[in-house]
Amino acid sequence: MTKHTADTNRRRFIKLTVTGLAAAPLANAMFSESAEAADMVSESEPTAVALKYKMDATKAPERKDKSAFCNNCSLYTGKPGDANGPCTVFGGKLVSSKGWCASWVKKA
């Protein structure tokens, strides 16, 4: 191996390592977003349809209490201020904090 080849290989290795390190946080963010998306309750899944779940509570015609949202439901276990949080009715899958469904029970 000539000195020129060794230098080229070293430069290539450093370039790939730096690129990999720079891309890691982006890849991590992408995977965590897709994992969260996969854990989100979809309005079209059977339980959600049966309970008339809407990600946007204002779009639920059956909702009579205009102050009712997932984030003030006793079955919502998300943190205050978070956009989404787990719901026990949906086995811990994430619902929108601004959502609503027919199982809403006012948080005590």
When asked if residue 76 is in the footprint of ligand SF4 (CB under 6 A), the reply is yes
Of residues 81-100, those binding ligand SF4 (CB under 6 A): 87, 89, 95, 99-100
In angstroms, the CA 70 to CA 76 distance is 6
Per DSSP, the three-state class of 87 is strand
Per DSSP, the three-state class of 10 is helix
What would the two tokens of residue 43 be? Answer: 């309005």
Q: Is 15 or 107 the residue whose CB approaches ligand SF4 more closely?
A: 107
Nearest distance, CB of residue 40 and ligand SF4, angstroms: 11
Q: Is 25 or 46 the residue whose CB approaches ligand SF4 more closely?
A: 46
Q: Is 3 or 66 the residue whose CB approaches ligand SF4 more closely?
A: 66
In angstroms, the CA 108 to CA 99 distance is 18
Per DSSP, the three-state class of 63 is coil
Interacting residue ranges for ligand SF4, rule: CB under 6 A: 53, 70, 73, 75-76, 87, 89, 95, 99-101, 103-104
